């Protein structure tokens, strides 16, 4: 099965509860709307409430299940904040069938010799430590689902270290490692599968910052890469774990 060509059934995610970080814009917003269109109750996680509310309104207008909104700043949140997230989501939803770690911080595009510590720490906090803490806190909710899926967002620069990508590249190498460690720990002992997805070149705000000279029309839209996201989130990917999948 090639995830890029996956054709999802209309009700693929019916009765599933799926949390999406960075759900206010870009790939996260499109993923949330796509999951909802396939029947999921989506929890929109992000720091900018008006953006989350806009996605919420679009999901409702399209006839999707009523989503939830959970505002949090991944750069400033501490372990107790994620435990509170678990408690609140357990109280409202009772379980979690999926978690898409999509939020990310680009940081500086500069040589390591010039890289600022503050920028480095922020990128590692948002892209690695926050994902570790959120995943750790939400594992008990994911265990309550019949078949749960965790998806981490990787990058081509998280497989081959390219110059000037600094902390972002290092954080994506770490993301690949976290995915593999967790997948191997849960394999055979849990109903949770854990995979990475590499979106590839996609028309987003972060891409525009990273490649200011690029024509946005020359790269795919987030909508065009959703088949792989649906495949990994839906039950057709049961048994697939510890993989790093290209969406393009």
The model's pLDDT over 117-164, given as tens digits with 9 standing for 90+, comes to 999 999 999 999 999 999 999 999 999 999 999 999 999 999 999 999
How many other C-beta atoms lie within 10 A of the C-beta of residue 11? 10
pLDDT at 215 > cutoff 90: no
User: What is residue 98's predicted lDDT score, i.e. its pLDDT?
Assistant: 98
pLDDT at 213 > cutoff 80: no
% of the chain at pLDDT higher than 70 = 98
Find the mean pLDDT for residues 88-103: 98
pTM of the predicted structure, to 2 decimals:
0.96
Tracing tokens 């949770």 back to the chain, one arrives at 192
- The residue from 82, 168, 229, 231 that is catalytic is 168
Tracing tokens 């490649």 back to the chain, one arrives at 211
Average pLDDT, the chain: 95
Cα 98 to Cα 29, 124, 150: the distances in Å are: 15, 23, 6
pLDDT at 101 > cutoff 90: yes
| CA distance linking residue 198 with residue 205, whole number of Å | 17
Q: Is 231 among the residues known to form the active site?
A: no
pLDDT at 11 > cutoff 80: yes
């Amino acid at each position: 099965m090639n995830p890029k060509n996956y054709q999802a059934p209309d009700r693929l995610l019916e009765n599933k509860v799926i949390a999406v970080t960075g759900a206010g814009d870009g790939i996260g917003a499109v993923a949330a709307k796509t999951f909802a269109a396939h029947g999921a109750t989506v929890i929109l996680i992000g720091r900018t409430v008006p953006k989350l509310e806009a996605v919420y309104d679009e999901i409702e207008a399209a006839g999707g299940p009523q989503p939830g909104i959970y505002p949090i700043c991944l750069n400033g949140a501490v372990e107790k904040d994620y435990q509170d997230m678990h408690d609140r989501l357990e109280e409202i939803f009772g379980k979690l069938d999926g978690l898409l770690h999509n939020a990310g911080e680009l940081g500086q595009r500069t040589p390591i010799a010039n890289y600022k510590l503050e920028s480095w720490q922020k990128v590692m906090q948002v892209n690695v430590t926050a994902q570790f803490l959120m995943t750790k806190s939400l594992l008990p909710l994911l265990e309550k689902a019949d078949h749960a899926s965790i998806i981490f967002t990787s990058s081509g620069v998280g497989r081959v270290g390219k110059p000037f990508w600094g902390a972002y590249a290092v954080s994506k190498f770490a993301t690949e490692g976290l995915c593999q460690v967790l997948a191997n720990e849960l394999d055979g002992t849990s109903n949770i599968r854990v995979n990475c997805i590499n979106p590839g070149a996609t028309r987003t705000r972060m891409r525009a910052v990273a490649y200011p000279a690029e024509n946005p029309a020359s790269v795919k839209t987030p909508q065009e890469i959703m088949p792989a996201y649906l495949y990994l989130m839906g039950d057709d990917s049961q048994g697939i774990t510890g993989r790093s999948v290209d969406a393009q």
